[in-house]
């Protein structure tokens, strides 16, 4: 993440959120609602929290446990180039819901100017790439860039291509807003393509704690793998990040509505696990989590820490394999990897009981 392009020429640094809670004992079938008391528990509730239903003229509707506000009127209505206004389209397929059921599309640039205070934010862009009436073949023409303040989040972007067969696409970023009171999110059709157009179905902007990913300049930094030993990398406010993967290892999927703090989603690790012979899936929902002084409790929802994947119990086998996950990424970027650990197994009582 060298000098992450304040000049906004390339698309973003990528961020690999990786999650690896540790071990535990096997939990029985009974799921009693546990009474727990977590220590050093400091929840974060976003001070700014926008869920915008683009292309919707109605006031708002509930989806994913939140109220999505239409952008048809009021201060969230985008600013457009004169006489080249965007149009809004509704989608009638029944299985398409919430922000995906309407879109804003335009052959020219449009800008959401969102009231925001300075500080780090999550930006999530929701796309339903399909053929919209009066707009040409999305695979050839729905190609555009998205600029957030001074950062180019997406360039020459095709949501249809990025969907890779999925119905909808969510692109998630972290950016730091330098100054308020408004922050511009600009959609621009690719000028090199005749009749190209931009579209968007939903936008989320959610504030985050200042120290969740970004660190003050005085921070010592994180080790930079593959570089000279001892080289540290500091993740400063001038870097934008793109989420690549956020995984709840050994546990179930966590939906945005289940993360009341920052509406993050966490996938299961099944699709990425490549070597796991044998592995176990311990769970300990009654544990009292104790967060260390340098790990805030909002680093991940509690559910992430109470499940894990571990090696099995056969020492001989464990010495002869490496529990492995594989994550496809693009070359040419730097990746930030975070591993979350929670030592849950009651047999592990002191330092040194488990070393790997
Ligand atoms: C968790 O903490 C509460 C309150 O201190 C205590 O009553 C309970 O026994 C603890 N649970 C475990 C599993 O240690
Ligand atoms: C823009 O629209 C206005 C009113 O709708 C019209 O008077 C004006 O001529 C238009 N300008 C151009 C350049 O088309
Ligand atoms: C934009 O993407 C298209 C394919 O989607 C590619 O052919 C073209 O070279 C790209 N242009 C730039 C400027 O990257
Ligand atoms: C946001 O975009 C609008 C319209 O293009 C522009 O007038 C305004 O100056 C921009 N604000 C910032 C902070 O860039
Ligand atoms: C552990 O695995 C080895 C190699 O697969 C096997 O020979 C041995 O019997 C296993 N031990 C136990 C206790 O299952």
**Which residues are registered as beta bridge partners of 203?**
52, 125
Give, rounded to a whole angstrom, the gap between the first and last alpha carbons of the chain: 29
Q: In this structure, what are the phi and psi dihedrals at residue 116, rounded to the nearest 5 degrees?
A: -145, 145
CA gap 61, 98 in Å, rounded: 7
Of 314, 318, 320, 321, the residue with max ligand 5 atoms within 8 A of its CB, to mutate for a pocket test, comes to 314
CA gap 338, 67 in Å, rounded: 31
The ligand minimizing its distance to the Cα of 32 is 1
Task: Give yes or no for residue 36 CB within 6 A of ligand 1.
Answer: yes
Cβ atoms of residues 288 and 38 within 8 Å = yes
Q: What structural domains does the chain harbor?
A: 4-44+238-342 (no CATH), 49-207 (2.60.120.430)
Residue 193, both tokens:
């393509």
The ligand minimizing its distance to the Cα of 179 is 4
Q: Which H helix or E strand runs over 270?
A: none
Instruction: Say which DSSP state 148 is in.
Output: E
Task: Give the tens place of pLDDT for each residue, 324-353.
Answer: 999 999 998 889 999 999 999 888 889 888
Using the atom order of ligand 4, give the atom closest to the CA of residue 183: 13
Residue 42 has a pLDDT of 80
d(CA 83, ligand 2 centre) in Å: 6
Cβ atoms of residues 18 and 337 within 8 Å = yes
Cβ atoms of residues 263 and 208 within 8 Å = no
- Cβ partners under 8 Å of residue 280, min gap 6: 26, 309, 310, 311, 312, 313
User: CB burial class (10 A; 0-12, 13-18, 19+) of residue 22?
Assistant: buried
DSSP labels for 55-84?
T--SSEEEETTEEEEESSSGGGSPEE-TT-
Task: Give yes or no for residue 158 CB within 6 A of ligand 3.
Answer: yes
Give the CB-side neighbour count of residue 270, counting CA atoms within 13 A: 5
d(CA 103, ligand 3 centre) in Å: 24
Using the atom order of ligand 5, give the atom closest to the CA of residue 315: 1
**Which residues are registered as beta bridge partners of 264?**
none
For the chain, list residues with pLDDT below 70: 1-37, 83
CA gap 170, 351 in Å, rounded: 41
Of 85, 113, 150, the residue with max ligand 4 atoms within 8 A of its CB, to mutate for a pocket test, comes to 113
Residue 36 has a pLDDT of 60
Q: Which H helix or E strand runs over 324?
A: strand 324-325
- Residue nearest atom 4 in ligand 3 by C-alpha distance: 156
Nearest to 114 by CA among 46, 12, 204: 204
d(CA 85, ligand 2 centre) in Å: 12
Place of tokens 């930079």: 224
Residue 222 has a pLDDT of 84
Residue 121, both tokens:
């934010």
Residue 75 has a pLDDT of 85
Task: Give the tens place of pLDDT for each residue, 164-200.
Answer: 889 999 999 999 999 989 999 999 999 999 999 999 9
The ligand minimizing its distance to the Cα of 289 is 1
Instruction: Say which DSSP state 200 is in.
Output: E
- The alpha carbon of residue 40 and the mean position of all alpha carbons in its chain are separated, in whole angstroms, by 25
Task: Give yes or no for residue 117 CB within 6 A of ligand 5.
Answer: no
Of 34, 37, 40, the residue with max ligand 1 atoms within 8 A of its CB, to mutate for a pocket test, comes to 37
Instruction: Say which DSSP state 155 is in.
Output: E
Residue 195 has a pLDDT of 93
CA gap 84, 89 in Å, rounded: 16
Task: Give yes or no for residue 314 CB within 6 A of ligand 5.
Answer: yes
């Amino acid at each position: 993440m060298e000098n992450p392009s304040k000049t906004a020429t390339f698309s973003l640094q990528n961020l690999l959120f990786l999650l690896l809670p540790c071990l535990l004992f096997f939990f029985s079938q009974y799921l009693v609602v546990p009474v727990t008391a977590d220590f050093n528990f400091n929840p974060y509730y976003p001070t700014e929290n926008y869920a915008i239903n683009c292309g919707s003229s109605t006031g708002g509707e509930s989806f994913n446990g939140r109220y999505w506000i239409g952008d048809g009127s009021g201060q969230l209505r985008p600013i457009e180039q004169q006489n080249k206004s965007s149009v809004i389209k509704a989608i009638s397929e029944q299985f398409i819901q919430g922000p995906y059921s309407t879109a804003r599309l335009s052959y020219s640039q449009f800008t959401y100017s969102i009231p925001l205070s300075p500080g780090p934010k999550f930006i999530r862009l929701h796309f339903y790439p399909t053929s919209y009436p009066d707009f040409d073949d999305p695979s050839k023409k729905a190609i555009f860039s998205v600029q957030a303040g001074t950062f180019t989040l997406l360039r020459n972007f095709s949501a249809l291509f990025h969907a890779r067969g999925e119905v909808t696409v969510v692109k998630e970023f972290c950016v730091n807003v330098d100054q308020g009171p408004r922050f511009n999110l600009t959609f621009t059709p690719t000028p090199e393509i005749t009749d190209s157009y931009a579209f968007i179905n939903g936008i989320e902007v959610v504030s985050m704690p200042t120290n969740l990913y970004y660190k003050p300049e005085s921070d010592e930094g994180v080790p930079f793998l593959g570089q000279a030993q001892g080289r540290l990398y500091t993740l400063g406010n001038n870097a934008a990040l793109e989420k690549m993967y956020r995984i709840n290892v050994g546990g179930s999927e966590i939906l945005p509505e289940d993360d009341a703090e920052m509406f993050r989603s966490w996938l299961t690790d099944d699709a990425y696990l490549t070597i796991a012979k044998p592995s176990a899936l311990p769970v300990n929902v009654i544990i009292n989590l104790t967060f260390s002084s340098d790990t805030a409790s909002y680093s991940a929802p509690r559910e992430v820490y109470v499940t894990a994947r571990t090696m099995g119990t056969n020492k001989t086998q464990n010495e002869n394999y490496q529990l492995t996950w594989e994550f496809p990424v693009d070359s040419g970027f730097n990746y930030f990897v975070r591993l979350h650990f929670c030592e849950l197994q009651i047999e592990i009582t002191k330092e040194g009981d488990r070393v790997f």
